[in-house]
């Protein structure tokens, strides 16, 4: 898939006020400082579509972007470690869960995980919550340029071993780097295939 256009549509903290169109939606979410904004900018070939920041927790709203006029990329607030108050975190959690509960347009979520770290309880718990609520998702491992290929494979194996303690199969996953564009074509091809399959099923 070639990204020909990428436009900001709206930001809000109420899933009920998200765009009314029935265009397919792909939600990106992860722990604060996982490199979500950089990944979105890399996928869309836009330098500042999503705002990047050295300060964790910069994204604090549900942000919709219209891609190629035919699907929405949704940038959701990061969870954990954001430098915000406990009350603000509760608000985030409420509208994130509300978003997943209400958005019929959601095709799948992408859960971003920093490949440099061992499996984090907060990520595992969030994936478990998605599974229990029947929400399809893929894992996007970020920052692959920070590790050598053998280390990447070791970290992936560690993740597989941990997940397979509670999951029957390893969830679909991608290995990416925002600085070198590793994984860009694979993620966009996956989205394109899902969109194409939905077009077929609706005809």
Contacts 24+ apart (CB under 8 A), 48-52: 49/6, 49/8, 50/75
| Cα torsion 11, 14, 17, 22: sign | positive
> For the chain, where are the E strands, in sequence order?
6-12, 25-30, 62-67, 71-75, 106-114, 137-142, 173-175
End-to-end CA distance of the chain: 21
Could you give the C-alpha distances from 165 to 95, 103, 128, 160, 169, in angstroms and in order?
A: 30, 30, 12, 9, 10
Distance CA 147, CA 193 (A): 29
Q: What pLDDT does 51 receive?
A: 74
Q: What pLDDT does 77 receive?
A: 83
User: pLDDT (tens digit, 9 = 90+) per residue, 23-34?
Assistant: 999 999 998 889
User: pLDDT (tens digit, 9 = 90+) per residue, 32-70?
Assistant: 889 999 999 999 999 889 875 444 444 578 999 999 999
User: pLDDT (tens digit, 9 = 90+) per residue, 122-162?
Assistant: 899 899 999 999 999 999 999 999 999 999 999 999 999 99
* C-alpha closest to that of 140 among 172, 97, 108: 172
Domains of the chain: 6-202 (3.40.50.300)
Residue 168's φ and ψ, nearest 5 degrees, are -70, -40
User: pLDDT (tens digit, 9 = 90+) per residue, 158-189?
Assistant: 999 999 999 999 999 999 999 999 999 999 99
Q: What pLDDT does 94 receive?
A: 78
Distance CA 177, CA 4 (A): 21
Q: What pLDDT does 83 receive?
A: 54
pLDDT band at 95, cuts 50/70/90? confident
Angle between helices 121-132 and 149-163 (to 10 degrees): 50
Residue 203 has pLDDT above 70, yes or no: no
| Greater pLDDT, 98 or 191 | 191
- Distant-in-sequence, close-in-space partners of 196: CB < 8 Å, separation ≥ 6: none
């Amino acid at each position: 898939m070639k990204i020909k256009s990428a436009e900001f549509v709206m930001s809000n903290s109420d899933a009920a006020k998200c765009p009314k169109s029935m265009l397919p939606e792909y939600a990106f979410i992860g722990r604060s400082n996982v490199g979500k904004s950089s990944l979105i900018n890399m996928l869309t070939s836009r330098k500042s579509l999503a705002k990047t920041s050295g300060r964790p927790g910069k994204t604090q709203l549900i942000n919709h972007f219209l891609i190629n006029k035919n699907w929405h990329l949704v940038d959701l607030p990061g969870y954990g470690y954001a430098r915000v108050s406990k009350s603000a975190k509760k608000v985030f959690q409420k509208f994130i869960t509300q978003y997943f509960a209400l958005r019929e347009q959601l095709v799948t979520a992408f859960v971003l995980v920093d490949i440099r770290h061992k499996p984090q309880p907060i990520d595992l718990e969030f994936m478990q919550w998605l599974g229990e609520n029947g929400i399809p998702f893929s894992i996007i491992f970020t920052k692959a340029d920070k590790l050598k290929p053998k280390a990447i494979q070791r970290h992936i194996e560690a993740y597989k071993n941990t997940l397979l303690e509670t999951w029957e199969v390893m969830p679909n996953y991608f290995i990416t780097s925002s600085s070198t564009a590793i994984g860009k074509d694979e993620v966009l091809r996956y989205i394109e295939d899902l969109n194409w399959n939905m077009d077929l099923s609706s005809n």
